[in-house]
Amino acid sequence: MKVVVCIKQVPDTKGGVQFNPDGTLNRAAMLTIMNPDDKAGLEAALRLKDQYGADVTVITMGLPKAEDVLREALAMGADHGILVTDRVLGGADTWATSTTLAGAIRNLDYDLIITGRQAIDGDTAQVGPQIAEHLGIPVISYAEEIKIDGDSVIVKRQYEDRYHSLKAKMPCLITALSELNEPRYMTPGGIFDAYDAEITVWGRANLVDVDDSNLGLKGSPTKIAKASDKVRKGSGEKVTLDPEESVAYIVGKLKDKHVI
């Protein structure tokens, strides 16, 4: 069984967010982590490795320094790492990203592709399903539980107020929620092995069946008009009243704002 996990290096929001003049994130200037939903997807794949001996390949598109997130995945137990990096791929939106990743994955044998539901930097939840669309395979999103049943997967899918239990024939794509599991830690020895391991680096030339018009900033239909950090809220209005007066005051304010 061969599993491909798409992972993304995202800004560690604890370290603050910085933007480029064109409104895209200045990834080079920020501390980074493995996207939490992707980490849960990787853990799900590693459990398939523990249980069924699955061969796990992690793939990421990004700057050369995104290699670090692949090493982290290897230190957790993934078998192979592929970095897709090329200047022409920079500034990609979800469409260009999914086109790129699908173009890379076409080089691989796979039974299952796992992606995170969404990345904490873009929050679009589009790349996973788009990859499935490009590759013409079924997709089950928002997975909270994954089981293998012969040549199929059975997935407990989170819905707004219930769960769906869905079965799909492999090959298929699953998008994982961080609630899916508690990702394992790396091991100290695993870290040193990960840095000895070879990472496969692919560029534009390695992408199969993709058109240049669908790649990078130029191939991205989404244009960011403006981006900014969150504006801090003011301290608000403070009043000191006894409980009865407080109730009247609050109700009055809510009425003024037509909340009630």
Q: Which amino acid is at 56?
A: V
- Residue from 43, 55, 68, 93 that binds another protein (CB under 8 A)? 68
Q: Is the dihedral of CA 73, 88, 206, 124 positive or negative?
A: positive
Residue 71 Cβ vs another protein, minimum distance, rounded to whole Å: 7
What is the C-alpha to C-alpha distance for residues 97 and 117, in angstroms, rounded to an integer?
A: 15
Angle at CA 42, nearest 5°, toward 2 and 25? 120
Residue 6 Cβ vs another protein, minimum distance, rounded to whole Å: 21
Residue 192 Cβ vs another protein, minimum distance, rounded to whole Å: 5
DSSP assignments along 195-255, one per residue: HHSPEEEE-GGG--S--GGGSTTTT-S-------PPPPP---------HHHHHHHHHHHHH
What is the C-alpha to C-alpha distance for residues 154 and 165, in angstroms, rounded to an integer?
A: 7
What is the C-alpha to C-alpha distance for residues 140 and 162, in angstroms, rounded to an integer?
A: 15
In this chain, which stretch among 3-11, 71-79, 109-117, 137-145 interacts with another protein, using CB under 8 A? 71-79
CB nearer to another protein: give 125 or 191: 191
Q: What is the DSSP letter of 184?
A: P
Position 43 contacts another protein (CB under 8 A)? no
Residue 143 Cβ vs another protein, minimum distance, rounded to whole Å: 24
Position 249 contacts another protein (CB under 8 A)? no
CB nearer to another protein: give 159 or 185: 185
**Residue whose structure tokens are 């704002």:** 257
CB nearer to another protein: give 37 or 93: 37
One character per residue 174-203, x = contact with another protein (rule: CB under 8 A): -----------xxxxx-xx-xx--------
* β 152-158/55-61 pair status: unpaired
CB nearer to another protein: give 34 or 173: 34
- Residue from 30, 44, 54, 75 that binds another protein (CB under 8 A)? 75
Residue 194 Cβ vs another protein, minimum distance, rounded to whole Å: 8
Residue 28 Cβ vs another protein, minimum distance, rounded to whole Å: 16
CA proximity to 140, closest of 124, 127, 128, 122: 128
Q: What is the binding site for another protein (CB under 8 A)?
A: 68, 71-72, 75, 185-189, 191-192, 194-195
